[in-house]
Amino acid sequence: MQRPFEGIRVIDATHVLAGPFAAYQLALLGADVIKVEHPYDPDQSRLTGTDRALGRRHMGTSYLTQASNKRSLTLDLKQPAGQDIFKKLIASADVLVENYRPGALDALGLGYEAMAAINPRLIYASMSAFGQRGPRAQHTAYDYVIQATSGIMAMTGTPDVNPIKFGSPAIDYATGTTGAFALASALFQRERTGRGQRIDLAMLDVAMILMGSHLTGYARTGHHPKPNGNVNEQATASCYPTRDGLLMLGASNMRQYRRFWRVLGRPELIQPDLEAREHARPAETKLIAEILMERSADEWESFFQERHVPAARVRTMGEALEDPQLEARGVRHRHAGATDVEGAFTVPVAAFGFAEGGPRVDTPPPGLGEHTAEILAELGYDKAEQERLRADKVI
C-alpha cells in the first residue's frame, strides 16, 4: 500500500535534533525529504555522537539517527544564487521545515510571506526555542536549557539531589514528534482548504505540554511539583532494591494494588481507597522493601508479570536493546553501511506501525551534498551551471 506522504516534497532546512527528527518521521512515511545544508558549515549533528571518526567525516551518529530516507543538498543561502535555487525548491515543495533563529530567513528574503507568494500551498513550519513571538522569541536554547527554563529540571531528581536533567534529550524528540504531527495535520487541512499554513512550534511550549498534569495541578493549588526520584505517591508504584538489582513496581490503580497484595498472600493489607493508601505508604514501603529482598529482580519481574501486576527490572540501554520485544516491534533498522560509514549501524524508526503502508527505512543517511547534482538537475540546472555554482561556493 502507498505510504501516507508519497508524492509530498519536504524541504528540511533544520539542524541538530528536533527539526531533523520531525522531517525524518515524514521521510519514513514516504515523503521526498531534501535536507539543505551549508556546504562548508553543515548540520552540527554531523560532527557529534559516540564515534569520533564518523564525526570527522561529517557522518556522526547523532546525524545518522535521523537522516535515513533523505536526500542531501548543499546550498549557501546567504548568496543570491543560493537563494534563487532555494526559491525554485520551494516552488516545487509541499512543506518547508526550518529552525533558524526567528527572523533569520526573513532577513534573507526567504520568510513565510515571500515563500507563500511563490507557493500559496506551502506549509511553512518554523521550529525554535521560544517561538516566533513573545518577549523571549530571540533567545536561543538547546534541550537542556529548555529543561531548566520550563521547570522540568526542578522537579527531577531526588529530595537530596536536584535539579537533574533528563538522561536523553526528551524535549528535542518530543518537539520533533509534535512537529511531525503538526505537519501531518496541516497537510490534511490543506486537502480540505487548498491553502498552505504557517506553523509556529516552540520547544518551551512542548516542554509545558509534557508537564500537562503538573501544570494543571500547580495552577490549581500553587504547590510546586517535588523531585521525588524513584518514589511515587503509592508504595506499590515505586522502585526497590532486590537481591541483585532494582525493580520498578507499577501497581498504580486500585485493581492492580489489590492484586499486588493478594499475589503476595497479604490481602489484609489492602486499603479501601487512594487516600488511605497514601497514609499507609510508610508501613507498606518498609514491608515491600523487606519482601523484595527475598528474590532477584528478574525473578520478581517474572512473578509479577505472570500475575498481571506491572513490574520491571531496571535495565541498561544495552540490556534493553537485547530484549526480543524490540525485534518483534520493528522499532529499529540496521543499515549495512552508508557513504563514508564502513560497517553496519542501527537507527530508530518510528514508535508506531500500520497494518499496511506504514513507516519504513528505504535508504541510508546521505553524505554531505550527496544528491546536490541530482536535485539541481531536477530543477533544470545543467552541468556547466552546476560547475559555476560550485566554483562560486554556492553549493
Specify the pLDDT at position 32: 98
Q: Mean per-residue pLDDT for 329-350?
A: 97
Active-site hit among 76, 94, 143, 172: 172
Domains and CATH numbers, the chain: 9-210+330-391 (3.40.50.10540), 235-319 (3.30.1540.10)
CA distance 100 to 98: 6
User: 150, 198, 155: which is closest to 172 by C-alpha?
Assistant: 150
Specify the pLDDT at position 234: 93
Residue 2 pLDDT class (50, 70, 90 cuts): very high
Specify the pLDDT at position 106: 97
**E strand residue ranges, the chain:** 9-13, 32-37, 70-74, 95-98, 123-128, 197-202, 239-241, 246-249, 311-313, 332-335, 345-348
Task: Count other Cβ atoms within 10 Å, centred on residue 174.
Answer: 18
Specify the pLDDT at position 310: 98
Residue 319 pLDDT class (50, 70, 90 cuts): very high
pLDDT in tens, 129-172: 999 999 999 999 999 999 999 999 999 999 999 999 999 999 99
> CA 27: distance to chain centroid?
14
234, 215 Cβ separation under 8 angstroms: no
Mean pLDDT value across the chain: 97
Q: Cell numbers of 307, please?
A: 500475575
6, 30 Cβ separation under 8 angstroms: yes
pLDDT in tens, 188-200: 999 999 999 999 9
pLDDT in tens, 42-94: 999 999 999 999 999 999 999 999 999 999 999 999 999 999 999 999 999 99
| DSSP 8-state code for residue 294 | T
Q: Cell numbers of 25, please?
A: 518521521
Query: What does DSSP say about strands 311-313 and 332-335: parallel, antiparallel, or unpaired?
Result: unpaired
CA distance 218 to 214: 6
Specify the pLDDT at position 247: 98
Specify the pLDDT at position 60: 98
Residue 359 pLDDT class (50, 70, 90 cuts): very high
Specify the pLDDT at position 93: 98
CA distance 101 to 284: 52
204, 132 Cβ separation under 8 angstroms: no
Q: Mean per-residue pLDDT for 206-229?
A: 96
Kindly give the residue spans of alpha helices, DSSP state H, lying in 293-360.
297-306, 317-321, 324-329
**Can 143 be counted among the known catalytic residues?**
no
> Burial letters for 296-331: b for 16+ Cβ neighbours within 10 Å, e otherwise?
ebeebbeebeeeebbbbbebeeeeeeeeeeeeeeee
Percent of the chain with pLDDT over 70: 100
Specify the pLDDT at position 171: 98
| DSSP 8-state code for residue 188 | H
Specify the pLDDT at position 50: 96
CA distance 109 to 103: 10
Q: Cell numbers of 305, please?
A: 508479570
For residue 148, the one-letter residue type is: A
